[in-house]
A and B are shown apart, each in its own frame.
Chain A
Amino acid sequence: MAAANEHITADAIEATEFMDLSRKYRVTGVPKTIVNETIEILGGLPEKMFVRQALGLPEEASS
């Protein structure tokens, strides 16, 4: 996503190495995704579902 749009930055973080950050975002399972400090996605999702949730798009946007 980051490579496709200059407004997007993507960090892959090793949760056990950065425990303070993991605690901050209450990472109790992985993968866990945080977008702009507000959107939380727990677990792996199919591509379209993940992108839709990450960008805060409504469900009907995909239909």
Chain B
Amino acid sequence: MGLLSPQDEATLKQHLSGLVHPVQLVLFTQTFGGSDSGDVAKKILLEIASLNEKITVVNKNFVLDSDDKAKYNVTMAPAIVVLSDGVDTRMRMYGAPTGYEFVGLVEAIIVAGTGTIDLDPETMTWIQAVDTPTHIQVFSTPT
């Protein structure tokens, strides 16, 4: 049985229907010494990917795939790196994407898959003016 109800799946499928670019969800998990949340994350991503053919899940081993870990600067597992047509969007999710994190993941997929960022034009000018490395970390909980 899936984690999403048939009704949730239908709603999510509708939200994802506007994707025009392929989206790759690169999932880093740790087989030994890792938490169960890696398995939960994998299950969630596969369910999302089953709803839209433009979404694919790429599984990576946090310990063995060190080149990819360095490439995407992934520091913890489980981690999800969101790519838009193979290009890093610089959006990362650490931990199983449940609760509020799930909403954030879906929004990240829509941004990556549509190329559309739904922000106020003035806000966008502030963001686009940033010319130094800026690392934003947002902490949340499932409920």
Confirm or deny: B8 has a beta carbon within 8 angstroms of a beta carbon on chain A: no
How many angstroms between the C-alpha atoms of A55 and B111 in the bound complex? 21
How many angstroms between the C-alpha atoms of A6 and B131 in the bound complex? 9
Q: Which of A7-22 contact B (CB under 8 A)?
A: 7-18, 21-22
Contact of A10 among B91, B101, B123, B133 (CB under 8 A): B91
How many angstroms between the C-alpha atoms of A54 and B138 in the bound complex? 11
In the bound complex, residues from chain B placing their C-beta under 8 Å from that of A15 are 139-141
In the bound complex, residues from chain B placing their C-beta under 8 Å from that of A36 are 133-135
Main secondary structure of the interface of B (DSSP, over half): mixed
Confirm or deny: B120 has a beta carbon within 8 angstroms of a beta carbon on chain A: yes
Contact flags (1/0) for B23-63 with A, using CB distance below 8 Å? 00000000000010100000000000000000000000000
Do A8 and B139 have beta carbons less than 8 Å apart? no
Do B136 and A9 have beta carbons less than 8 Å apart? yes
How many angstroms between the C-alpha atoms of A7 and B129 in the bound complex? 10
Contact of B138 among A7, A13, A22 (CB under 8 A): A13
User: How distant is A35 from chain B, measured CB to nearest CB, in Å?
Assistant: 5
Confirm or deny: B90 has a beta carbon within 8 angstroms of a beta carbon on chain A: yes
- In the complex with contacts A48-B122, A62-B122, A13-B90 CB distance below 8 A: no
Do A3 and B111 have beta carbons less than 8 Å apart? yes
The 6 listed contacts between A and B (C-beta, < 8 Å) are A3-B111, A4-B119, A9-B92, A17-B95, A51-B123, A55-B126
Interface residues of A (CB under 8 A from B): 1-18, 21-22, 25, 27, 30-37, 47-48, 51-52, 54-55, 57, 61-62
